[in-house]
Structure 1
Amino acid sequence: MIFTAENILMIGSILIFSSILISKTGYRFGIPTLLLFLVVGMLFGSDGLGLQFNSASDAQFIGMIALSIILFSGGMDTKYTDIKPVLTPGIVLSTAGVLLTTLLTGVFIFYISDWNQTNIELTLMTSLLLAATMSSTDSASVFNLLRSQRMNLKQHLRPMLELESGSNDPMAYMLTIVLIQVISSGSHPDFLLITKDLLVQFFFGGVIGYAMGRFSVWLINRINLSNSSLYSILLLSLVFITFTITDQLHGNAYLAVYIMGVILGNTKLAFRKEINTFMSGLTWLFQIIMFLTLGLLVNPHEMLDLAAVALLIGAFMIIVARPLSVFLCLLPFRNITAKGKLFVSWVGLRGATPIIFATYPVLAQIEGSQQLFNIVFFITLVSLVVQGMTITKAAKLLHLDLPAPKEGNEFGVELPDEIDTRLTDLTLTPEMLATQNKLADMQIPKGTLVMLVKRGSEFLIPNGQMELRPGDKLLLISENKHKPAD
């Protein structure tokens, strides 16, 4: 069966429906949700139930849209206060770390391609190209795993890992494009030109992302729309405009939308709750669509022919290339312990991004590009199974895990950013009520009010003469001492 205009809605809905049901079962066994989406796509594909999808260009387009949304949403969830202590090591990992991983893995691939036991014959440039497509950690996988499992880590490792995965795609993308150009032209690489292109990509990506982020904040806080839902749609259009403008100016569009998200996530923004809810749902939808599409695109029987060599390359990346690049990059940062560096090495997750980057050689008709794609896909599966399923255990084994931070309050109440206040909850103990049990007699700090009282499953509107009991939960509203930056 092939996709047509008549059946795409039905088939797409069945795929998404099946993915969500299977992911619910898989979550109980600690299987990464995104891995299951990939598997569902493979089960419904040409070697499974027979759905025919073989357009690398369509998969690349879907991946481009999905990654722009995922990176923007991840940027919005990134807080300055969290990434400030790890900004420098995060940037070093996302640039030098990617380059080192490419060089180490590329040389290894070229070395084993001469072995009689392997069924690949790759030049040095093609070996480096294969390594470059896999050199970045996948933002979708890292964000999804760390946040779905509510991991809290010592040494500020979680924000550093999220910063790295959100900002290292530009380096891998640029290396992939440059190597494709070198191979296609048959010329020797001009390292001066490559460096210039990288600087241009980072410059325009950073400047346009920052400028559009500031413009978006200004527009959303000042424009008056008839329906609050339109603010989220307006912002989505600005994300795609940012991506397109940056790409047209030869900047890195992925970096631009990530920085744009960081700006919006750290300034006062009208209708933030509605926007966050909209972006969260949209991110999940496009993660599912992207992984399903990539699962449909691969032909598992072709991938199995390269399983042995792909497993060898994957093992080298996990055990040697990633740890070596991480330890070298983080060598100057003494505040990150050896256990911390080891954990960062283990969270070098591959996911949708490497597979999407692997479609570029296919579309450029690089010799052996289908082999490269199948190797990247197999290594992604290995990474999600081996690393994705053991991240929590690795954190506990290395004694780097912390209790998950409390989110929100017991009442599920949120206030818009325009109200410069914060909500907290307090559970009353017998000791607190030993001398007085009326709300009016409680020593409530100045500038703080009790909004609600929760008693069991009942919610009560408080007044001064209300008698409080042990176990009552108070919802407190108080003034912010430090206002967020405009």
Structure 2
Amino acid sequence: MESFYILLLVGTVLVLVAAFSSLIAYRFGAPLLLLFLVIGLAAGTDGLGIHFSNNPLAYMLGSLVLAVILFDSGFGTSIQSFRLSAGPSISLATVGVVLTSVFFAGAAALLLGFSWLEGLLLGSIVASTDAAAVFFLLRIGGIHIRDQVRSTLEVESGTNDPMAIFLTIALVEVVAKGQGFAGFDTSFILLFLQEMVLGIVFGVLGGLMIVNVVNRFQVDRGLVPILVLALALLVFSFTGALHGSGFLAVYVAGIVAGNRKILAKGAIRRFHEGMTWLAQIIMFLMLGLLATPSQFPAIIVPAVLLALFLIFIARPLAVWLSLMPFNYTQQETTFVAWVGLRGAVSILLAILPSLGGLEGAETYFNAAFIIVLVSLLIQGWTIKPVATRLGLIVPPRMGDVDKLEVDLPGTANHELISYRVAKGSAILQGERIPRWAMPSLVVRDGKSIRYQYAGRLREKDLVYLFVMPSYTRLLDRLFASAKPVTKDDEDIFGTFSISPQRPAKELDASYGPGLLNAQELTMTIAELIESRLGGKPEYADRVRLGWLILIVRDLDENHAVSSVGISLEPVAPATALPVFISLKEIVQRTRTYFAEKRATRKAQAAGNDIPAEPDRVDVAENDR
């Protein structure tokens, strides 16, 4: 018992130190997850002397923690964001992971003396981005970028882990057999398809099961978040036991459950946010304890060079090729390439060579650990400056909102919200509370007043309202200070605005012709934007029409476009070099190049009074 108390004391102190270190991280802008990892290193064998070397336990506990993080990540992802970025995200999570592994394998073979197969194994270990790191930096780090780019990064980080895990396990098995590339056969492809299909199917069914169980069983409200967590882990373990991807299943289950009406959703969200914080702290501390820094000097130089190769060459190339079929700008592709944070998942996968009994397993682990440290240090510290430099930061349309959401017992259709009236808010300037919201109480100077007797609301009043959960964001705009578009925001919102209800054919007449097809000519500008986006528009979404850019400046209470900005700047790439340009831009550049060549030849021929020789395209058209 004495040993147990000492162990519990040390573990609790480490968790508390990691939690309080967040204040330092916020103060100096340091990547918080890197700080957790460093604390684990400082407490380990070469630091305070805490010895932890149980690889099987570390892998099992790490997998459990990762499942909790992935479920919370999915639970906080809206279905609109998922639909908006599903194509590019899945491309990055599959093709991108494979390409990153292949590119990295060559550098690993050169710098570490690995065979191509061993280099491919190390590449698979570090190929996936870390969901915990990406979600933390984008959601909590105050980085506001376009919804499509942010959603792409979040969905990629949640879906690329199953691919990396499958590749790593398969390659460990092949390397252990010593058969080289001959060890690969069609069974691996069938196994991959089986894991992904079962992961998706059981994920959807599991998400629906979570919602139905929670809504049907009226348990104590304090047990609801715990019930949801237990059901999520049930989906994870059940799918894994049937040889499916439990990680994919639990992420999909989170998306399904988070986008349906479920009892006590606010309480579930707050509980899982806390659990995710605890899970991240435990996992990074544990993996830090598992490392032996005294072994790092023997591999530090090639490992750092590999990290730089991964950051500046392998990841950008893989992202570019994966996103080429999609209409992303150079700046957006560059940012997606830069947010390739490696984290606990890579260190967790680096344990597998040891579990598989591979020779030199510590080399894989130490190299992966150093690569993660370099990635968090370089990329984690510079994400916001890079986003600002690329012009991707979207100015918030409102100030801070001081509110508290309280779920009502016995129903999932209404909730009680309290707002503190902010200085300069729209509600103070005469805007009325919508009829669908039911204000009930005002707390002013410590006294409770019924709303109908409170009179005009004052600054710092606390207002309680009954409202449908889906309408809460509309009330946010009443109780927070709106931020109008300033001249400094023209790069984001355009140089001037236009009514979204005007006919789209006016754009074609003014800036065309040829910008729109026959069907689009019959639409309004708002309908055109929604058609081009393939779904409901979001704040700051952009639609390109040739060299014209339409920008969603604002949305009304029905989520329809209420203001559209126009940018008259050409949508040319940021540089003349063909770096990170999409397939559409490549086609446009190619057509422009040959059109200019034809025009030059015809002009030269006309100047010399010599008939121009028809080029192959013209001849082919005449023959037809």
TM-score by length of 2: 0.70
Which residue, out of 263, 268, 281, partners 1:270?
263
Which residue, out of 250, 253, 256, partners 2:246?
253
Q: How does 1:456-471 map to 2 (within 5 A)?
A: 458=446, 460-468=448-456, 471=459
- Are 1:208 and 2:202 counterparts? yes
Letter of the structure 1 residue corresponding to residue 149 of structure 2: L
Tell me what 1:339 maps to.
Answer: 331
State the alpha-carbon separation in 1 of the partners of residues 470 and 259 from structure 2: 17
Deviation by residue 1:38-61 (Cα, 9 ceiling, x = unmatched): 101111111111111111112111
| 2:440 counterpart SS class | strand
Tell me what 1:297 maps to.
Answer: 290
Letter of the structure 2 residue corresponding to residue 448 of structure 1: A
Which residue, out of 427, 436, 443, partners 1:447?
436
Letter of the structure 2 residue corresponding to residue 62 of structure 1: L
State the alpha-carbon separation in 1 of the partners of residues 406 and 464 from structure 2: 11
Contact 1:428 1:469 in 2 (8 A): no
| 2:205 counterpart SS class | helix
State the alpha-carbon separation in 1 of the partners of residues 238 and 15 from structure 2: 31
Contact 1:409 1:424 in 2 (8 A): no
Which residue, out of 413, 419, 426, partners 2:413?
419
Worse-superposed segment, 341-350 or 23-32:
23-32
Which residue, out of 117, 127, 131, partners 2:123?
131
Contact 1:89 1:160 in 2 (8 A): yes
- Are 1:193 and 2:193 counterparts? no
State the alpha-carbon separation in 1 of the partners of residues 425 and 67 from structure 2: 52
State the alpha-carbon separation in 2 of the partners of residues 431 and 99 from structure 1: 50
Coordinate RMSD, CA, aligned: 2.7
TM-score by length of 1: 0.89
Q: What is the number of equivalent residue pairs in this alignment?
A: 465
Gap change, CA 1:393 and 1:64, over 3 Å in 2: same
State the alpha-carbon separation in 2 of the partners of residues 23 and 427 from structure 1: 27
| Cα displacement (A) at 1:238 | 1.5
| Cα displacement (A) at 1:15 | 1.1
Tell me what 1:64 maps to.
Answer: 63
Tell me what 1:79 maps to.
Answer: 78
| Cα displacement (A) at 1:390 | 0.7
Letter of the structure 2 residue corresponding to residue 464 of structure 1: Q
Contact 1:154 1:401 in 2 (8 A): yes
Contact 1:343 1:395 in 2 (8 A): yes
State the alpha-carbon separation in 2 of the partners of residues 13 and 218 from structure 1: 36
Worse-superposed segment, 198-207 or 182-191:
182-191
Structure of higher CA gyration radius: 2
Q: How does 1:64-463 map to 2 (within 5 A)?
A: 64-110=63-109, 112-113=110-111, 120-154=112-146, 156-187=148-179, 188-225=182-219, 227-334=220-327, 336-404=328-396, 409-416=401-408, 418-420=412-414, 445-453=434-442, 458=446, 460-463=448-451
| Cα displacement (A) at 1:172 | 0.3
Deviation by residue 1:321-340 (Cα, 9 ceiling, x = unmatched): 11111111111111x21100
Letter of the structure 1 residue corresponding to residue 144 of structure 2: N
Contact 2:406 2:415 in 1 (8 A): no
Worse-superposed segment, 356-365 or 418-427:
418-427
Contact 1:155 1:340 in 2 (8 A): no
State the alpha-carbon separation in 1 of the partners of residues 240 and 456 from structure 2: 61
Identity %: 35
| Cα displacement (A) at 1:406 | 6.3
State the alpha-carbon separation in 2 of the partners of residues 186 and 463 from structure 1: 76
Letter of the structure 1 residue corresponding to residue 14 of structure 2: L
Gap change, CA 1:99 and 1:422, over 3 Å in 2: farther
State the alpha-carbon separation in 2 of the partners of residues 407 and 221 from structure 1: 35
Contact 1:102 1:131 in 2 (8 A): yes
State the alpha-carbon separation in 2 of the partners of residues 214 and 15 from structure 1: 38
| Cα displacement (A) at 1:93 | 0.7
State the alpha-carbon separation in 1 of the partners of residues 69 and 147 from structure 2: 25
Worse-superposed segment, 201-210 or 183-192:
183-192
